[in-house]
Structure 1
Amino acid sequence: MNDLPQADSARRDNYSAEARAASKVTIIGMILDAVLGVIKVIAGAVFHSQALLVDGIHSFSDVASDLVVLGVMRVSRQEPDEDHPYGHQRIETLGTLVLGSILIAVGAALAWENILRLWQGQADIIPGWPVLAAAGLSVVGKEWIYHYTRRVGIQIRSDLIIANAWHSRTDAFSSVIVVVSTLGAMFGLVWLDVVAAIVIAVIIIHIGWKFTWDSVKELVDTSISPEDTEMLKSIARNTDGVRNIHELRSRKMGQDILLDVHLVVRPDISVSEGHQIGVQVASGMREALENIRDINFHIDAENDEELSPTSEELPSRGDIQRTLEKHISDYPTKTRLRLHYLKNKVHLELFLDSDADTLNEAEVHKAMTGYPWFGSVRVWVKNS
């Protein structure tokens, strides 16, 4: 059973609003990255700061990542369709993976280049004071765009936008390192500039790896945390009518959580009551974790993890009906039949319309004993 709500106009409007918000903040960040990148590359080249030059290249990598974000967000925020009934959020995950890979590649190239410079003794030029001004401007600008982007990412529940925010903050961190290394070089520690460039490159690699690894885990359907899993199981166990929960599987699509839940209930309740119990469990879970998008709940009459799987060879309702009519000559035609498939046996309940119908449990039991699938029988007579 599934409690996935149908896509309606409100959801479509929500997807559109989220896409617009993501595009706006990304375009603003991209313009800022481009301006800061030009300033830092020029200042780094003219005033002899390898660290600021690397920092400027880092800003241009932000521009490239912003372009990735714009393209991915446009696609991933589309409403669910026939081919993608759960939505397109996995495209966002793929975009985050690409973004992380870009960061790793850029960081590795910059780190290698500056390690060679340090090894070859090329770190012997003192940076000029404009380097401090360019780095300070970068710190202020990137810290502002970090807070703005992260706030939007949290509001629209987008891992990709949040990842892009942290990408901006690494630029602010790296600019702080430029300030410190430049001051150190001005006081005679000239090699600090190249060392700072290597440190900045390592920061870029680290952030890229985190984004990449988190995306890989999501793409291979890694579950939610053990703490959240146990909390959801506790909610199910404490729901009236649930005897046990013997399986809870989870996976993520972007910020959304998808759940598969197996609930054990009393075997003699109706299908509708079992469904209602599942609805109550789903409601409780949604209250606990608001980003649950879809819950598939399966109602079990017994714990099929501990017992042998139910045999596919057990007879159907039609087969049992014909068997009863075959062995019981005066079998009432209006008898209602209820079946319980438990522990690889079939337990029968027969409901008679009146006590005028001549049928008793002993007669049925004797007729059915020879069948290996037969478990038990109860006969109920409607009061006149």
Structure 2
Amino acid sequence: MIDFLDPQKGKVREQYGKKSSLIGIFVNVFLFIIKFAVGTLFHSVAVVADAVNSLADAGSSVISLISFKLSSKPADEKHPFGHERIEYIASSVVAVFILLLGIELLKTSFNKIVRPDEIEFSFVVVGVLLFSIAAKLWLYGFNIKLAKRIDSSMLRATAADSLSDVLATSSVLLSTILSPLLGFQLDGYVGILVSVFIMMSGLNILKETLDFLLGQVPSGELVELIDSYVKKYDGVLGIHDLVIHNYGPRRYFASVHVEVDAKEDILVSHDLIDNIERNIAQDLGIHLVIHLDPIITDDPFVNELRELTAKVVSGVDDSLSMHDFRVVKGFTHSNLIFDVVIPHQCKKSDSEVIEEITQKIKEKDKNLFTVITIDRSYI
């Protein structure tokens, strides 16, 4: 029996997706039939364009249905991270299909402006369009609710498409009412407007799904969630080098460096990170790999130099941060070995950062040498 109280389980996602897709297919095919018939009967290219848009939405629901089925497949030998990214690929296919449809409708609407047909006003047309608007508003609310419940980019795209359809159909309705009153055929112009709505919807969906496929910065909420979860354990002094990979909705693999007291028994520290890895997988569903970083906390000389170096680093650019600090003492000089994280918004080059930090530390004490490794932020 499927546990619908846990919407992140594969079968549950599949059932939610199937439910949304089948309802979407039924509603959109029905809307296509009545709008296409009415638009053809009353010679309205805008209504026909809106009808074809509904047919495209039905096609999107078919692709959605297939993608939810395929993405719920468990990991296998060739795909050890699972198949959930299929949902992103399917969303991209839908987006391209919508774009092509919008371009075709743009051509048709332009021809309608060049060679306009007389449009017969009918309360039947108005009634059908009002019904379509109401149906699309309901679909929007239905899909956005399910999208939030299972964190689905496909259903969010479907919901957004329904909302854009409401605006597009409202424009067609306005044209149908105003054209006879103004004595001017707005049909072709509104058809162009509808096609633009369709293309914009396709572009927005494509951008969102490509961001997921290319690898985008994880949300601040997710970063904070992992950060606070790891730091709540006694013995964890800090974390850095957090990297998060997304392999589908709510399917995350991550790695992080955890700082612990160098004096602590290595077996105790190892047991600590084992517990964190196991517990975060159970509690949050995140597959986390932890690298252990022992740091010295009780050496006044090292602590003083760490504080000095941190001030120098932030003084070079307040967006910079450092970690993995250690000191190798010598008879004539001491080496300060540490990593500096340069975020993407920092305009300085790696060499400029290293040179400025080295120079400023030399100004503090000429017997201090730096060994700096540059890191990048992935969060």
TM-score normalized by structure 1?
Answer: 0.68
- 1:55 to 2:40 alignment: no
Q: SS of the counterpart of 1:301? A: strand
1:207–1:273 Cα change, 3 Å? farther
| Equivalent residue letter for 2:133 | V
Find the aligned partners of 2:176 and 2:257 in 1 and give their Cα distance: 61
1:64 shift after superposition: 1.1
Equivalent positions of 1:36-55 (< 5 A) are 36-55=31-50
Q: Residue 129 of structure 2: which of 132, 135, 147 is its match?
A: 135
Match of 1:31 in 2: 26
- 1:175 to 2:188 alignment: no
1:305 shift after superposition: 6.2
1:299–1:232 Cα change, 3 Å? same
| Equivalent residue letter for 1:262 | H
Q: Does structure 2 conserve the Cα–Cα contact (< 8 Å) formed by 1:49 and 1:127?
A: no
Equivalent positions of 1:346-365 (< 5 A) are none
Find the aligned partners of 1:259 and 1:281 in 2 and give their Cα distance: 13
Q: Does structure 1 conserve the Cα–Cα contact (< 8 Å) formed by 2:75 and 2:82?
A: yes
Find the aligned partners of 1:186 and 1:282 in 2 and give their Cα distance: 69
Q: Does structure 2 conserve the Cα–Cα contact (< 8 Å) formed by 1:37 and 1:59?
A: yes
1:281–1:17 Cα change, 3 Å? closer
Find the aligned partners of 1:57 and 1:218 in 2 and give their Cα distance: 29
Match of 1:337 in 2: none
**Coordinate RMSD, CA, aligned:** 3.3
Q: Does structure 2 conserve the Cα–Cα contact (< 8 Å) formed by 1:79 and 1:88?
A: yes
Q: Does structure 2 conserve the Cα–Cα contact (< 8 Å) formed by 1:126 and 1:190?
A: no
The Cα offsets for residues 208-229 of structure 1, whole Å up to 9 and x where unpaired, read as 1111111111111212135653
- 1:205 to 2:173 alignment: no
Find the aligned partners of 2:125 and 2:274 in 1 and give their Cα distance: 62
Match of 1:159 in 2: 153
1:45 shift after superposition: 1.2
Q: Does structure 2 conserve the Cα–Cα contact (< 8 Å) formed by 1:159 and 1:254?
A: no
1:236–1:15 Cα change, 3 Å? closer
The Cα offsets for residues 343-383 of structure 1, whole Å up to 9 and x where unpaired, read as 79xxxxxxxxxxxxxxxxxxxxxxxxxxxxxxxxxxxxxxx
1:204 shift after superposition: 1.3
1:238 shift after superposition: 6.0
Find the aligned partners of 1:13 and 1:286 in 2 and give their Cα distance: 13
1:79 shift after superposition: 2.5
Q: SS of the counterpart of 1:206? A: helix
Q: SS of the counterpart of 2:161? A: helix
Match of 1:219 in 2: 213
Match of 2:291 in 1: 298
The Cα offsets for residues 250-283 of structure 1, whole Å up to 9 and x where unpaired, read as 2323322332211122223234433454367669
Match of 2:312 in 1: none
1:187–1:283 Cα change, 3 Å? farther
Q: SS of the counterpart of 2:261? A: coil
Unpaired runs of 5+ residues, structure 1, are 1-9, 309-341, 345-384
1:230 shift after superposition: 5.4
1:286 shift after superposition: 8.0
Match of 1:260 in 2: 255
1:74 shift after superposition: 0.6
- 1:147 to 2:115 alignment: no
Find the aligned partners of 1:230 and 1:11 in 2 and give their Cα distance: 23
Match of 2:101 in 1: 106
TM-score normalized by structure 2?
Answer: 0.69
Find the aligned partners of 2:200 and 2:285 in 1 and give their Cα distance: 30
Q: Does structure 2 conserve the Cα–Cα contact (< 8 Å) formed by 1:123 and 1:190?
A: no
| Equivalent residue letter for 2:165 | D
Q: Does structure 1 conserve the Cα–Cα contact (< 8 Å) formed by 2:33 and 2:51?
A: yes
| Equivalent residue letter for 1:93 | Y
- 1:185 to 2:182 alignment: no
| Equivalent residue letter for 1:267 | A
Match of 1:69 in 2: 64
Mean Cα displacement is larger for which, 250-259 or 104-113?
250-259
Q: SS of the counterpart of 1:265? A: strand
Match of 1:348 in 2: none
Match of 2:12 in 1: 17
Mean Cα displacement is larger for which, 94-103 or 167-176?
167-176
Q: SS of the counterpart of 2:290? A: strand
| Equivalent residue letter for 1:134 | V
Q: Which has the larger radius of gyration?
A: 1
Match of 2:74 in 1: 79
Match of 1:251 in 2: 245
Q: Does structure 2 conserve the Cα–Cα contact (< 8 Å) formed by 1:258 and 1:292?
A: no
| Equivalent residue letter for 2:36 | V
1:187–1:13 Cα change, 3 Å? closer
Q: Residue 264 of structure 2: which of 265, 269, 294 is its match?
A: 269
Find the aligned partners of 2:19 and 2:111 in 1 and give their Cα distance: 40
| Equivalent residue letter for 2:173 | V
Q: Does structure 2 conserve the Cα–Cα contact (< 8 Å) formed by 1:92 and 1:254?
A: yes
Q: Does structure 1 conserve the Cα–Cα contact (< 8 Å) formed by 2:246 and 2:253?
A: yes
Q: Does structure 2 conserve the Cα–Cα contact (< 8 Å) formed by 1:22 and 1:153?
A: no
Match of 2:332 in 1: none
Find the aligned partners of 1:210 and 1:274 in 2 and give their Cα distance: 47
| Equivalent residue letter for 2:242 | L
Q: Does structure 1 conserve the Cα–Cα contact (< 8 Å) formed by 2:240 and 2:323?
A: yes
| Equivalent residue letter for 2:211 | K
The Cα offsets for residues 149-171 of structure 1, whole Å up to 9 and x where unpaired, read as 33223223322123223223332
